[in-house]
Amino acid sequence: MDAELRGVPKRRVPVFALFIYLLHRKKRLRYVGTLIFSVHFHCFAFLILLLCMLVNRIAGISELFYVTLVIFPIYLFLACRHVYNNSRSMTLLKTLVIGLLHAGSMATLFLVTTFISLLVF
Measured CA to CA in angstroms, residue 111 lies from 5, 8, 76 at distances of 13, 12, 25
Structural domain including 82 reads 3-120
What pTM value is reported for the model?
Answer: 0.78
Residue pLDDT, tens place only, 62-112:
888 888 889 999 999 999 999 998 899 999 999 999 999 999 998 998 999
Q: How many CB atoms lie within 10 A of CB 96?
A: 13
> Which of 29, 52, 51, 33 is closest to 41 using CA atoms?
33
103-118 per-residue burial string, b: 16 or more CB within 10 A, e: under 16:
eebeeebeeebeeeee
pLDDT at res. 95: 94
Please state the domain count of the chain: 1
